A = this chain, B = another copy of it.
């Protein structure tokens, strides 16, 4: 079934794209030179969007760089290219303010067939629970109804919620923001995330409730408990490795939505007070070669938390998260981090008390 959405959507490569919104916005802004940015997976859609805009008379260039999320907007490239406006594909707005006028064009799947055919397995998987919190990557949001309706039909209490951090839509999860699910923790027995394992792993790491990823592309429903436990063991192992390192660096991303310079400076000071040789290391794209060829033995990563979670195995040295650094300095216990969901960005979705545990020691240092 073709999912209906507001506005006159064009379907490109199976995704609804609101070209009218882009054209009208660019005209309203008086923009003529436009930079089109997209994550690698949406480059074909980007090419078509750019082509349509060029046909409408806009002077279009594309960004070839990686794009890891709504946190990673190509303001720098746009400025260098003299672009009046950015068209950013595939993510909802993450930043409160854009340095270059940015039009966010979501690319939601227009067809719910792949998800529909997964519904029986989803139902079979979660029917033993009385209640389920449902989330989704932005791509699948328009199709979510088929899951919610069927689960309700078989008698489950199905809850969705508004996120409170960077995600925008009800039920939407980002790699770093599962607040739309975390907020339901006292009301549901389990979680279901429609999208990739990547999108479901976020909540799985921050709750001890069972979490399932339903991925229409792979046609699989996956219980994430084993993966969660494996990753938490890896994280703990890397905290232990970090403790033994003397020369460490605190990574600060210069990507507009990943830059946490104040946090990094506080952690850096805390590490020095704790007796480490620590310094600040600026980064844009973080790759094994760019960080490993430095002289540091270990890193604290204040950039994208998923870098530590997904890519640690690529790095021969520990790349631990801020909360993990607090554990390494005995300012938090590992059990607190795990039990209270402090691993990623604890200030976003935890109640005041839990977030305060994270911030209290940091507030006490001078930078």
Using CB atoms, name the residue of chain B closest to A60: B279
Tell me if A246 counts as interface (CB < 8 A to partner B): no
Selecting from A214-222, A284-292, A310-318, A357-365, the interface stretch reads A284-292
Number of identical protomers: 2
Tell me if A77 counts as interface (CB < 8 A to partner B): yes
Q: Which residues of B contact A259 (CB under 8 A)?
A: 80
Q: Which residues of B contact A66 (CB under 8 A)?
A: 289-290
Using CB atoms, name the residue of chain B closest to A61: B280
Query: Do A281 and B62 touch across chains, with their CB atoms under 8 A apart?
Result: yes
Tell me if A261 counts as interface (CB < 8 A to partner B): yes
Shortest distance from the beta carbon of A81 to any chain B beta carbon, whole Å: 5
Q: Which of B61, B280, B284 contacts A279 (CB 8 A)?
A: B61
Knowing A40-B290, A43-B294 touch, does A261 contact B82 (C-beta < 8 A)?
yes
The B-contacting residues of A in range 44-65, CB under 8 angstroms, are 44, 47, 50, 54, 60-65
Query: Do A63 and B261 touch across chains, with their CB atoms under 8 A apart?
Result: no
Selecting from A14-22, A172-180, A249-257, the interface stretch reads A249-257
- Chain A interface bracket (under 10, 10 to 19, 20 to 34, 35 or more): 35 or more
Tell me if A233 counts as interface (CB < 8 A to partner B): no
Cα–Cα, bound, A291→B65 (Å): 8
Tell me if A127 counts as interface (CB < 8 A to partner B): no
Using CB atoms, name the residue of chain B closest to A367: B59
Knowing A76-B76, A261-B81 touch, does A282 contact B61 (C-beta < 8 A)?
yes
Q: Which residues of B contact A64 (CB under 8 A)?
A: 249, 251, 281-283, 286, 290-291, 294
Q: Which residues of B contact A65 (CB under 8 A)?
A: 282-285, 290
Query: Do B47 and A294 touch across chains, with their CB atoms under 8 A apart?
Result: yes
Using CB atoms, name the residue of chain B closest to A39: B293
Tell me if A366 counts as interface (CB < 8 A to partner B): no
Query: Do A43 and B76 touch across chains, with their CB atoms under 8 A apart?
Result: no
Cα–Cα, bound, A105→B162 (Å): 52
Cα–Cα, bound, A61→B251 (Å): 10
Using CB atoms, name the residue of chain B closest to A67: B290
Query: 0/1 per residue, A9-50, Cβ < 8 Å to B?
Result: 000000000000000000000000001000010011001001
Tell me if A330 counts as interface (CB < 8 A to partner B): no
13 contacts between A and B (CB under 8 A): A43-B293, A62-B249, A62-B279, A62-B280, A62-B281, A62-B294, A64-B294, A66-B290, A74-B282, A77-B254, A77-B284, A81-B282, A284-B284
Q: Can you name 12 extra interface pairs (CB under 8 A) apart from A50-B279, A62-B281, A62-B294?
A: A40-B293, A47-B295, A61-B252, A61-B279, A61-B280, A62-B279, A63-B281, A64-B282, A64-B291, A64-B294, A65-B284, A65-B285
